[in-house]
């Protein structure tokens, strides 16, 4: 079996400089013009190492990862030729379910040493979750990339001014109590109230021992008592004046640097914003406040080869570069917005340099993390989830009513 598939893949052709593999590879990722500049820098080494391969890196702007995945799928259906795509958790099932991907198993077999070395330096959960959620037939369609968990970025200066100690762990009510003290003594908001699926909804749910969908992503449980309790608490922060009313485009890092915001949630990406406003040194990462459980959502990037790719050998050469130590080091020092997949990078000095105190928490949170559900119709599910949460925190609907209505819609989308 491997022999016939490998023949279709180009057999044992060499991708080294001067080797047989050549041609054009189109790599598509989620991003805008600014991301384009960053990716061009990251791929400088690849272009020098493989001069016979012309790499075209293209960014696609979208409202969400699931929306990005749908956009790419639409382009493929329209005949656009793509080879490798960066896909986050929310979009991986979308691609797998549409049968758009080439199995990677023959390529992995051919380059077993390089792949095994990569797997040995990445969290085992990433590979486990890809197999569980993004492999409908047991074949390997993705190589895992960087990931994000959700911590809370905390303004240590505001806590000190309010006479509060930085918590190692805290409950929802301890969070609220801290917010009241900060509001009374500094006038600053405790946090923000928003409805992002990964950044807002899932952290409150996972820290109350629940999720929007069941563990197998087949059943909606968005109207569970625990979910309603989580939304009710998030709404109470707005009612109590501890979070600004939802709406508008809040620049959390800027507000924090101005002393107007005590906390906000995030993975790795807010570190770049804090660097921009030169406020890294006053910030510490802490766990999200807990209620019935301790948790975090987790989402991860992954790289597949598209089934319609006309240059699969060169596409695999690109993926091998993406999993290399060389690329891992480059993205770690280049301001990447995710935790590097390689453990050696994610726990190294370069990752922790010019970053908030306790940044290593983003890695530790993997132990308690819940994969963000991304079912076949993930973009539609995400819209339903976010709209209901926004209704709840803004007060346009009672939490129970908003989530009951949303849960029925979600269950229809899962059928």
Question: Rounded to an integer, what is the distance from CA 80 to the centroid of its chain?
Answer: 26
Task: Report the C-alpha gap between 364 and 406 in whole angstroms.
Answer: 32
Does the residue 14 lie in any domain? no
- pTM of the prediction? 0.91
Q: What pLDDT score does 389 carry? A: 98
Q: Do residue 304 and residue 361 come from a single domain?
A: yes
Residues ≥6 apart with Cβ < 8 Å to 33: 59
Q: What pLDDT score does 11 carry? A: 32
Task: Report the C-alpha gap between 72 and 80 in whole angstroms.
Answer: 9
Nearest to 157 by CA among 255, 243, 256: 256
Contact by Cβ (8 Å): 66, 90:
yes
CATH number, domain with residue 362: 3.40.190.10
Task: Report the C-alpha gap between 108 and 113 in whole angstroms.
Answer: 9
Last residue of a domain, one of 351, 369, 387: 369
Neighbours of 228 (CB within 10 A): 21
Q: Are strands 84-85 and 23-30 parallel, antiparallel or unpaired?
A: parallel
Q: Do residue 292 and residue 303 come from a single domain?
A: no
Phi and psi at 191, nearest 5°, equal: -160, -165
Q: CA Rg, the chain, in Å? A: 22
Q: Do residue 144 and residue 230 come from a single domain?
A: no
Per-10-residue mean pLDDT, the chain, length 415: 27 42 91 77 89 93 82 88 92 85 96 97 94 90 96 98 96 98 98 96 98 97 98 98 90 97 97 96 98 96 95 96 94 89 96 97 96 92 96 98 98 96
Overall number of domains in the chain: 2
Task: Report the C-alpha gap between 414 and 168 in whole angstroms.
Answer: 39
Q: Do residue 173 and residue 106 come from a single domain?
A: no
Task: Report the C-alpha gap between 148 and 330 in whole angstroms.
Answer: 18
Per 3-state DSSP, the chain is made up of helix, strand and coil in percentages (nearest 5) of 50, 15, 35
Contact by Cβ (8 Å): 369, 295:
yes
Does the residue 17 lie in any domain? no
Task: Report the C-alpha gap between 67 and 360 in whole angstroms.
Answer: 30
Q: Do residue 141 and residue 164 come from a single domain?
A: no
Q: What pLDDT score does 396 carry? A: 98
Tokens of 337: 């917005």
Question: Rounded to an integer, what is the distance from CA 415 to the centroid of its chain?
Answer: 26
Does the residue 1 lie in any domain? no
Q: Do residue 58 and residue 91 come from a single domain?
A: yes
Tokens of 395: 């007060």
H-state helical runs in 43-199:
44-49, 65-77, 89-97, 105-110, 112-120, 124-133, 156-161, 172-186
Does the residue 392 lie in any domain? yes
Q: Do residue 381 and residue 287 come from a single domain?
A: yes
Q: Do residue 329 and residue 191 come from a single domain?
A: no
Is residue 137 packed enough to be buried (19+ CB in 10 Å), middle (13-18) or exposed (0-12)?
exposed
Q: Do residue 234 and residue 273 come from a single domain?
A: yes
CA atoms within 13 A on the CB side of 80: 14
Task: Report the C-alpha gap between 367 and 361 in whole angstroms.
Answer: 11
Q: What pLDDT score does 150 carry? A: 98
Does the residue 281 lie in any domain? yes
Does the residue 15 lie in any domain? no
| Three-point CA angle 35, 378, 288, nearest 5° | 70
Does the residue 11 lie in any domain? no
Strands of 53-60's sheet in order across = 53-60, 23-30, 84-85, 305-306, 101-102
Q: Do residue 288 and residue 395 come from a single domain?
A: yes
Place of tokens 């921009």: 276
Q: Do residue 268 and residue 226 come from a single domain?
A: yes
Q: What pLDDT score does 77 carry? A: 86
Please report the DSSP string for 229-278 in residue order: HHHHHHHHHHHTTSSPPS-S---HHHHHHTT-BSEEEESSTHHHHHHHTT
Phi and psi at 284, nearest 5°, equal: -135, 140
Contact by Cβ (8 Å): 55, 318:
yes
- Domain hosting 394: range is 151-297+374-414
Q: Do residue 171 and residue 47 come from a single domain?
A: no
Does the residue 3 lie in any domain? no
Task: Report the C-alpha gap between 409 and 415 in whole angstroms.
Answer: 10
């Amino acid at each position: 079996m491997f022999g016939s598939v490998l023949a279709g893949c180009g057999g044992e052709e060499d991708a080294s400089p001067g080797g047989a593999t050549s041609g054009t590879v189109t790599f598509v990722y989620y991003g805008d013009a600014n991301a384009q500049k960053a990716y061009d820098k990251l791929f400088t080494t690849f272009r020098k190492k493989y001069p016979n391969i012309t790499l075209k890196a293209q960014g696609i702007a979208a409202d969400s990862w699931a929306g990005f995945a749908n956009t790419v799928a639409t382009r493929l259906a329209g005949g656009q030729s793509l080879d490798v795509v960066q896909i986050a958790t929310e979009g991986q099932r979308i691609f797998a379910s549409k049968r758009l991907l080439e199995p990677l198993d023959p390529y992995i077999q051919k380059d077993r040493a390089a792949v095994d070395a990569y797997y040995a330096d990445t969290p085992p959960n990433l590979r486990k979750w890809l197999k569980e959620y993004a492999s409908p037939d047991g074949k390997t369609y993705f190589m895992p990339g960087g990931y994000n968990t959700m911590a809370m970025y905390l303004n240590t200066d505001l806590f000190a001014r309010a006479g509060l100690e930085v918590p190692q762990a805290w409950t929802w009510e301890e969070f609220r109590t801290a917010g009241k003290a900060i509001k009374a003594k500094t006038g600053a908001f405790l946090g923000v109230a928003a409805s992002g699926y990964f950044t807002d909804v899932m952290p409150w749910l996972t820290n109350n021992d629940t999720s929007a969908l069941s563990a197998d992503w087949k059943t909606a449980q968005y109207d569970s008592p625990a979910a309603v309790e989580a939304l009710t608490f998030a709404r109470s922060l707005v009612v109590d004046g501890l979070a600004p009313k939802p709406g508008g485009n809040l620049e959390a890092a800027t507000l924090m640097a101005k002393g107007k915001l005590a906390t906000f949630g995030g993975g790795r990406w807010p570190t770049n914003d804090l660097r921009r406003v030169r406020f890294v040194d006053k910030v510490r990462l802490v766990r999200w406040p807990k209620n019935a459980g301790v948790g975090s959502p987790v989402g991860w990037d992954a790289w597949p080869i598209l089934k319609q790719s006309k240059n699969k050998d060169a596409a695999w050469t690109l993926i091998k570069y993406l999993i290399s130590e060389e690329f891992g080091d480059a993205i770690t020092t280049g301001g990447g917005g995710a935790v590097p997949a390689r453990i050696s990078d994610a726990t190294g000095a370069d990752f922790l340099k010019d970053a908030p105190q306790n940044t290593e928490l983003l890695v530790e949170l993997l132990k308690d993390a819940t994969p963000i559900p991304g079912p076949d119709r993930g973009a539609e599910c995400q819209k339903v989830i976010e709209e209901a949460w926004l209704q709840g925190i803004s007060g346009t609907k009672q939490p129970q009513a908003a989530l009951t209505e949303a849960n029925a819609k979600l269950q229809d989308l899962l059928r």
